[in-house]
Amino acid sequence: MRSRRRLFIWAGATLGLLIVVVGVVVIAFRDRATPLDAGDVAATTVVPGGTDPGDFGIYLYETAGFETTGALGGARHEYPVETFLALQPGGCGTLVRWQALEQRWTEWEICDDLGIAGWRSYHEWFGVSNLDEWSCTPPVPLLSETAESWTARCEKQGTIQELHYEVIGSVQLEVAGEMVDTVHDRSSTVSTGETSGSATDDLWLLPGTPLVVQRITDKSSVTGSRIGDVEYHEEYRLRLRSLTPTS
């Protein structure tokens, strides 16, 4: 009788401990997708907004898109209908930071001649963060005055990207009721190494500035890890709401 009672007590204690452990694991690895407002984004900038298009500051974008991962059974982050792009001085010219979520941002280093020296891309899934740092030597021209197409190469540790750029042409887009001249270029990217994949990126830029008026991105990749290959996919479209920085 005592043995049976001890067995029940042991089983109950074990079950209770198991429930606690599972609860801790669920809380610790719960996936989040946290939208940010302009005040949150302002904390990442060091210069107050200007008054002219392309000035340093925070710009508001109409947004549609998402990202997905195949890790730990899979998850999806829906992007909010409004996101922010911050322009501030840094590196060889301007740091252009797109903040989709607290858990998702990319920061490009754009030189004064509108060449990309590199970028940092941050993702967080199930509470686990990952920061990829890419460098481009020499910098990749966003636009070219002498060629309609060109190729470039960027890399991070263990992965190489081969990029092909082409200028589609000059296009007028409407921003806050005003027609604005833009230059449309398109990049096609192939990644090889620890991460393999492909991407297309259409950019409509305000001429002479790194200010994005519209952007359409579609990318997919597979990265090797200790738990096997992890698939990632992202699609989004950004459309500038105002030529004047919000702050």
Q: What is the secondary structure of 9-31 as a DSSP string? A: HHHHHHHHHHHHHHHHHHHHT--
7 with 97, same domain: the answer is no
1 with 99, same domain: the answer is no
The pLDDT value recorded for residue 51 is 86
Q: What is the rounded distance in angstroms from the CA atom of residue 157 to the CA atom of residue 151?
A: 20
Domain range holding 25?
1-30
21 with 36, same domain: the answer is no
Residue 148 resides in a domain: yes
The pLDDT value recorded for residue 17 is 39
24 with 88, same domain: the answer is no
Please give the average per-residue pLDDT across 212-224, as a whole number: 96
**Backbone dihedral region of 74: left (phi > 0), alpha (psi from -120 to 50 degrees) or beta?**
left
Residue 55 resides in a domain: yes
Q: How confident is the model at residue 19 (pLDDT cuts 50, 70, 90)?
A: very low
Amino acid at 198: S
128 with 11, same domain: the answer is no
Q: How confident is the model at residue 48 (pLDDT cuts 50, 70, 90)?
A: low
CA distance to 28, 54, 58, per residue, from 47 (Å): 36, 13, 10
Tokens representing residue 69 in the block: 């991962």
- Terminal alpha carbon distance of the chain: 74
Query: What is the pLDDT of the chain when averaged over all its residues?
Result: 87
The pLDDT value recorded for residue 23 is 36
The pLDDT value recorded for residue 22 is 32
Residue 246 resides in a domain: no
Please give the average per-residue pLDDT across 43-58, as a whole number: 80
Residue 247 resides in a domain: no
24 with 85, same domain: the answer is no
7 with 85, same domain: the answer is no
The pLDDT value recorded for residue 26 is 38
87 with 207, same domain: the answer is yes
Residue 245 resides in a domain: no
Q: What is the pLDDT of residues 145-204, one digit of tens each?
A: 778 999 999 999 999 999 999 999 999 999 999 999 999 999 999 999 999 999 999 999
110 with 225, same domain: the answer is yes
Is the pLDDT confidence value at 207 over 50? yes
Residue 74 resides in a domain: yes
Please give the average per-residue pLDDT across 203-220, as a whole number: 96
Least confident of 42-51, 81-90, 159-168: 42-51
Is the pLDDT confidence value at 21 over 70? no
81 with 152, same domain: the answer is yes
Q: What is the pTM of this model?
A: 0.85
Q: What is the rounded distance in angstroms from the CA atom of residue 145 to the CA atom of residue 247?
A: 32
For 5, which DSSP code?
H
The pLDDT value recorded for residue 16 is 44
Residue 183 resides in a domain: yes
CATH code of residue 89: 2.30.230
37 with 101, same domain: the answer is yes
110 with 181, same domain: the answer is yes
Is the pLDDT confidence value at 2 over 60? no
User: How many separate domains does the chain show?
Assistant: 2
Please give the average per-residue pLDDT across 112-141, as a whole number: 95
- Which one is predicted more confidently, 146 or 213? 213
